[in-house]
Amino acid sequence: MSTTRPYSPGDRGPEPSGASGASEGGAPEPGASTGAAAPSAPSVPSEGSPPGRGRQVRTLRLDGESGVVPLARDFTRQALYAWGWLPAAGADQRAAAEDVLLVVSELVTNACLHAEGPDELLLACDNKVIRLEVSDRGAGQPAPRTPHRAGRPGGHGMFIVQRLCLDWGVLRVPGRDGKTVWAELGAPA
């Protein structure tokens, strides 16, 4: 697993939304970070496409919010319902949705513990992959604790992300503070 690759293998190229907060059309999402301090706004999901049609994107501003981990999980759960991952039709689909919720929890928790808190959560889904992005102002580099010791408390977050995801990494924009930690999981079959 890479922690520095700007996008996952397969030469799909950079995501249109990237770390800039730009939507598919290239314009910034309402409330998205554009390098200047954005005013705190209520957390409102941006609408994606109807279920099953192309790439669907939702963003949630977390900067200044309290209870961000459950807020991010609830937002993600709503997106999974809207995108047809939930209610789960079978054990594989249920496991895939639970993995997505766990990875969101781990990425947001890491931003809380190690990076002054998360700024934004972005969810992007197509027919094959769901991409999760958590932006923060931290300068650190997330990495799985090596060696991993399952019986030891703490330090399991990035190990869990590494084990559950197809790939994950960190995006940094030159000249801007912070980073975006992204992870991709496969859609259920």
- The whole-number pLDDT of residue 147 equals 67
Mean pLDDT of the chain: 77
* CA proximity to 99, closest of 78, 80, 118, 84: 80
pLDDT in tens, 138-158: 988 887 777 667 777 777 889
| Res 81 pLDDT > 80 | yes
CA dihedral 111, 7, 86, 73 (to 10 degrees): 10
As a whole number of angstroms, the distance between CA 73 and CA 101 comes to 6
pLDDT in tens, 14-57: 333 333 333 333 333 333 333 323 333 333 344 443 444 689 99
Report yes or no: 5 and 167 within 8 Å, Cβ to Cβ: yes
Q: Mean pLDDT check: name the lowest of 3-7, 63-67, 111-115.
A: 3-7
Measured CA to CA in angstroms, residue 93 lies from 72, 77, 110, 149 at distances of: 20, 13, 26, 29
Query: Which of the pair, 144 or 72, is modelled with greater confidence?
Result: 72
* CA proximity to 132, closest of 91, 155, 161, 157: 161
